[in-house]
Amino acid sequence: MTERAGTATIRVIGVGNASQGDDAVGLLAARRLRDRLGSSVEVIEANGDGLALLDLMEGVDYVILIDAVKGGGLPGTAVRLDLSTENRWAAAVPCSTHAMGIAEAVDLARVLGRLPKRVVLYGIELESVESGASLSRAVQDGLAVGMEQVCREVERARCTKCI
């Protein structure tokens, strides 16, 4: 699930935990995007382990991360952050109980000179991360909105060759 595969120029990585309520949103987004985008774009599901993410970001120019975030906005709100330029963003991502999470992975990749040319995070503001719960209504709506934005981003990246 978290293994690297292929050398696509764009890679979409959905991050989350399938059994922790709204934290599953990144994984669900990845699954739906895989159906929608087909084999033209590499789509990966990841569990949020920072060091695995470091590897998953390797070898491509353009990475789109999708994850549940807690930034104080309304549940379900989709936010876009360009991590290639923005580095004061860690507070937008919920604390991981692991020693390294997504924020640390991006920072470490930057320090090691391994950050892809462009890394964009689509964050869906979460409502609840209750164990065993399904997605909240608000986050389901946010997922639909976020997916549209990711698809547009993928299209733009292909058309304009902005990478």
Partner 1 sequence: MPEEGRQTRTIAIGTLARVEGEGALRVTVKDGEVRDVELRIFEPPRYFEAFLVGRHFTEVPDIVARICGICPVAYQMSAVHALEQAFNMQVVGPLRDLRRLLYCAEWIESHALHVYLLHAPDFLGYQSGIEMAKDHRDTIARGLRLKKAGNRLLALLGGRSVHPVSVRVGGFSRVPTRAELDGLTDELLWARDAALETVRWVAGFEKPEFRQDYTFAALAPEDEYPFNEGPIASSHGLHVDARNFEQHFTERQVPYSTALHSTLNGGSYLAGPAARLHLNATRLSPLAKHAWDETRVGLPILNPFNAIVARSVEILFALEEALRLIKGYEPPRESSVPVTPRAGVGMACTEAPRGMLYHRYAVDERGAIREAKIIPPTSQNQRRIEDDLRAYVPQVLNLSTKDAALACERLIRCYDPCISCATHFLRLEVCEATA
Binding site for partner 1 (CB under 8 A): 1-3, 47, 49, 51-52, 54-55, 97-100, 104, 107-108, 111-113
Q: Which residue, 108 or 151, has its beta carbon nearer to partner 1?
A: 108
Q: What are phi and psi of 161, to 5 degrees?
A: 50, 40
List of residues 6+ apart from 30 with CB closer than 8 A: 12, 13, 14, 43, 44, 45, 66
3-state helix, strand, coil in the chain (%, to 5): 40, 20, 40
Q: Which residue, 74 or 111, has its beta carbon nearer to partner 1?
A: 111
**Distance of closest approach, residue 153 Cβ to partner 1, in angstroms:** 27
Q: Which residue, 70 or 158, has its beta carbon nearer to partner 1?
A: 70
